[in-house]
Amino acid sequence: MNLDFSNTNILVIGDIMLDKYFFGQVKRISPEAPVPVVNVTKEESTLGGASNVANNIVSLGGNVCLCGAIGEDLHGRELIKIAEEKNIITNLIKTAHPTITKSRIIGERQQIVRLDFEEKLSISSNTEKEYLKDMIPLIDKADLVVISDYAKGFITPTLCSIIISHCKETNKKVVIDPKGKDWNKYKGAWIITPNVKELSEISEEEVDNSDFDITKSAKTVLHRYELEQLLVTRSEKGMSLCSHKEATHIPTHSEEVFDVSGAGDTVVATLSLAIALGIDVKEAIHIANVASGVVIKKMGTASLTVNELLEALK
């Protein structure tokens, strides 16, 4: 199978985050409060949110441009430095809001607590208009566009609908990783990748993780938001690709789950690269499913290489 992604160009637009990890040993309980004391022995910083999608794309050998917002702060500078080291091209707005950062304290391979640094992003309509002017040429250069929405405020209804409309006019496919209950902004998208919980929320009914319930709910959502396809990620039950005509259910590829954080980003990245390479959507989803099975065996918001993917595909 040819999975040479070196000539693919993906544009990722979304909520950018920095993930920090503090690893250490736990040998005693604090005298100040009944909590473990973690003696930190190692610290790591990785790209999170939409920037983790970009990280997965370059890790697999593709080319990516990342659009989003960061703060004028230390975490923002750290994020840009990591992106540059990974050859991720960035086109970022700098705001007065802090760079969204999630710090995880890990003691003896067990997450003890997570510290979140974030404020809901608010971008003025003038800034949004100016940024869209910069973004349109980037869309035109890309083979495919990813909208990675974490409901942190960057993916506004205006921004989203203009991107989708322009992509339709220029015959570009849009892959959307959704969040929240306002899917009107995603109307007309090529494919959206909710998990079962997100599908339940947008359906406004409890959706059981069964083939029948997923298919039934997906058809309602497809019609309501004029979508071409839904790819529902179903945890230990794999994935379901639902269109107006049919539903295809793909079992999970992993026998062992260590950490699911970031697995959805890997699915979106791998799917986007495979589609940009001209691979049929069902085969592309099979490849993305296998990629997800590799990263959930790793710690944290991990990525994988194309060699790891090819080995797993065997």
Tell me the Ramachandran region of residue 262: left when phi exceeds 0, alpha when psi lies from -120 to 50, beta otherwise.
left
Q: Work out the angle between the directed axes of helices 50-59 and 74-85 (0-180°, nearest 10).
A: 20
Structure tokens at 203: 């359906």
Run of H or E residues at 125: helix 125-141
Task: Give 10's contacts (C-beta < 8 A, 6+ positions apart).
Answer: 54, 57, 62, 63, 64, 65, 142, 143, 144, 145, 146, 269, 272, 273, 276
- What gap in Å lies between CA 68 and CA 155, rounded to an integer? 9
Q: Find out whether 269 and 223 touch, Cβ atoms under 8 Å.
A: no
Angle at 255 (CA atoms; ends 251, 260), nearest 5 degrees: 85
- What gap in Å lies between CA 280 and CA 293, rounded to an integer? 20
- What gap in Å lies between CA 6 and CA 9, rounded to an integer? 8
Catalytic, 4? Answer no
* Number of other residues whose CB lies within 10 A of the CB of residue 165: 12
Catalytic pick from 15, 143, 177, 265?
265
- What gap in Å lies between CA 3 and CA 305, rounded to an integer? 11
Residue length of the chain: 314
Tell me the Ramachandran region of residue 284: left when phi exceeds 0, alpha when psi lies from -120 to 50, beta otherwise.
alpha
- Active-site positions? 265
